[in-house]
Chains A and B, each alone.
Chain A
Amino acid sequence: MEKIPILKMGRFLLVTIQVDMHDQLAMQLQENLTDRIVAVRARGVLIDISSLEVVDSFIGRMISNIAAMARVLDAETVVVGIQPAVAITLVELGLSLEGVRTALDVDRGMAMLQQQLAGQR
């Protein structure tokens, strides 16, 4: 069965979503990710959705949920690489992912998490 890989990079987890997910796969990612956060005591999660051409309200809700659950587990979530057309559509849909931090690309998202972590020390 297909599965979305979760990479560990130091204290952070990197998830790159590259397939047009059906709903079950999205739900599974949500579960796997929270498990991994606890298992590796991650402090940050980067979700790279630069390959996603469509984000509907279901995927949007999944992203918001992941961010909220990660926060409870003491990890910050940054969503990176939202494409312009996807951003415009999300806003029109009425979904602006409030409460989720965003960055242009993985590098900037990583810098954001590092800064946050440094500030907490």
Chain B
Amino acid sequence: MAVVHRSVLPIRSQEDIVRVRQATRESAVAQGFSLVDQTKIVTAASELARNTLDYGGGGEVEITRLSDPPRRGVRLVFTDKGPGIADVGQALADGFTSGRGLGLGLGGARRLSNEFSIESRVGEGTQVTIARWR
């Protein structure tokens, strides 16, 4: 598995969420994703970027284009140094929310991705990794 391209964007404001969507779209297009696959990962990115901003108090996302012939993919790693999540299982359940939104953020992002993992420590922060392949 080879890294084709990597970039890091800050998530500090609502405008940054828009920028994360645009950068994710750019990467998905560059990797030759179909329109539906593009839309799925961009939507997942939007959900997770908003989580990073709202619950993590801001952070950053690393966007990586991957090549693992014949597959090509995009991986996103969202990192924040916020309060962390005490009960990850509960946070993943639909309808769970501690803020605005429908509580579809984490679970929805997981359904829209091929790979999903989350690491969180209370008081230290949260890191969510997703990847989608074509």
Task: Produce 1/0 per residue, B18-60, CB < 8 A to A.
Answer: 1001100100000000011011101100110010000000000
User: Is residue A70 within 8 Å, beta carbon to beta carbon, of the partner chain?
Assistant: no
**Stretch touching chain B among A6-14, A41-49, A85-93, A99-107:** A85-93
On whether the beta carbons of B108 and A22 are closer than 8 Å, the reply is no
Is there an interface contact between B40 and A89, defined as CB atoms closer than 8 Å? yes
Q: List, in ascending order, chain B residues with CB within 8 A of A94's CB.
A: 94, 104, 107-108, 111
Residues of B within 8 A of A93 (CB): 43, 47, 104, 108, 111-112
Q: Interface size class for chain A? A: 20 to 34
Complex CA distance for A24 and B40, rounded to whole angstroms: 23
A85 touches B35 (CB 8 A): yes
Interface string of A16-30 (1 = CB under 8 A from B): 000011111000000
A70-113 CB contact bits vs B (8 Å, 1 = yes)?
A: 00000000000001111011001111000000000000000000
Give Cα A54–Cα B38 distance, bound, in whole angstroms.
10
Which of B17, B35, B111 is within 8 Å of A23, CB to CB? B17
The answer to whether A86 and B39 touch across the interface, beta carbons within 8 angstroms, is yes
Q: Flag whether B15 is at the interface (Cβ < 8 A).
A: yes
A93-B108, A94-B108, A94-B111 known; A54 and B42 CB under 8 Å? yes
A-side interface residues toward B, CB under 8 Å?
20-24, 53-58, 60-61, 83-86, 88-89, 92-95
Return 20 A-B CB contacts under 8 Å, by A number.
A20-B22, A53-B25, A54-B43, A57-B47, A57-B101, A57-B102, A57-B104, A58-B101, A85-B35, A85-B38, A86-B39, A89-B43, A89-B112, A92-B112, A93-B104, A93-B108, A94-B94, A94-B107, A94-B111, A95-B104
